[in-house]
Structure 1
Amino acid sequence: MDHVEGKSGPLAAAVALREQGRKDEARERLVALAARWPDDAEVAYQTAWAHDVLGLEAEAVPYYERALAGTGLTPDDRRGALLGLGSTYRILGRYEEAVALLTGAAEEFPEDGSLRAFLAMALYNTGRHHDSVRLLLRLLAATSDDPSVREYRPAIEHYAEDLDAVE
């Protein structure tokens, strides 16, 4: 039995426990798996997530960092790990780290609006209110299904570029 086969069953079982709402039990199993396979990015990501859903953000950080330092995450899991770590940095008051990480993540995954929304929050926390509002307005203009927002999309996009402009 190789490395991947050896962990796939127990990993799937631990994830299923989390999905069933048995979060503490899932976290315990995932911590054990992470100790057994410390270099496995997928195990580290799932372990980080298990801590995050329990409000154990500080404990989630090393697992997120380990997941992102490794290889083998699917693009969707990599995106999730970047969002999770960036959000966790922000929650922990590590605002500049959140901005740096989420900026890179938004560039890597430009189609993901949630990364830009969390980046806007982190920008706000660093006092970069103008950048935060600009980003949120761009996101609103690009993604809103509200007919009145769509109607004014060009104006919203224009003014997002220079909120202080007087014409």
Structure 2
Amino acid sequence: MRDEELARAVRWREDGRHEEARDLLLELSGRHPDDVEVAYQTAWVHDVLGLESEAVPYYEKALAGPGLSDRLGAFTGLGSTYRVLGRVDESLATFERGLAEFPDDPGLRTFMAMALYNAGRARAAVSTLLTVVAQSDQVGRYRRAVEYYAENLDETI
């Protein structure tokens, strides 16, 4: 029963039926308070609805327990949510935890760059973004130069 209801709630969220998904996920959270998958999906739907403050405890619960299938998504979601709420130090700490588990993830690094910018660390933010760009296929023959300037951003002639 739990699996079917969780799948239905996810479908509803994906289909834009956010309020219905939220209602079902809150009900599931009440019945399965230690279920990390339910917590994660409950956090996500709150984020989609712009209810970031309400999403936080669900993200935290999802990351605290074992067995979450999308830890990367939970780190990205929680870090981003903290940033939007102006909790930049917690955002950066969350991204650092996520990067300890997923060191090469470009999405996580990109969201961290936004938090670095909000923390007043523009140089670190740009450097992080340049590193992400350098690791993409889009930079082509300029990869080495972009990698170099990611570390030496202030260098000029």
Under a length normalisation based on structure 1, what TM-score does the superposition of the two structures give? 0.89
Q: What does residue 146 of structure 2 align with?
A: 156
Q: What does residue 50 of structure 2 align with?
A: 55
Identical columns (%): 57
Over 6 Å off, 4+ runs = none
Displacement of 1:111: 2.8
Displacement of 1:166: 3.8
Under a length normalisation based on structure 2, what TM-score does the superposition of the two structures give? 0.95
Aligned residue runs from structure 1 range 1-167, under 5 A: 6-74=1-69, 77-145=70-138, 149-166=139-156
What residue identity is the alignment partner of 2:63? L
Q: What secondary structure does 1:152 align onto?
A: helix
Unaligned runs of 5+ in 1: 1-5
Displacement of 1:88: 0.2
What number of residue pairs does the alignment pair up?
A: 157
What residue identity is the alignment partner of 2:145? A
Displacement of 1:108: 1.2
- In structure 1, distance between residues paired with 2:31 and 2:145: 55
Root mean square deviation of aligned Cα:
1.2
- In structure 2, distance between residues paired with 1:163 and 1:112: 22
Larger Rg: 1
What residue identity is the alignment partner of 2:5? P
- In structure 2, distance between residues paired with 1:158 and 1:106: 21
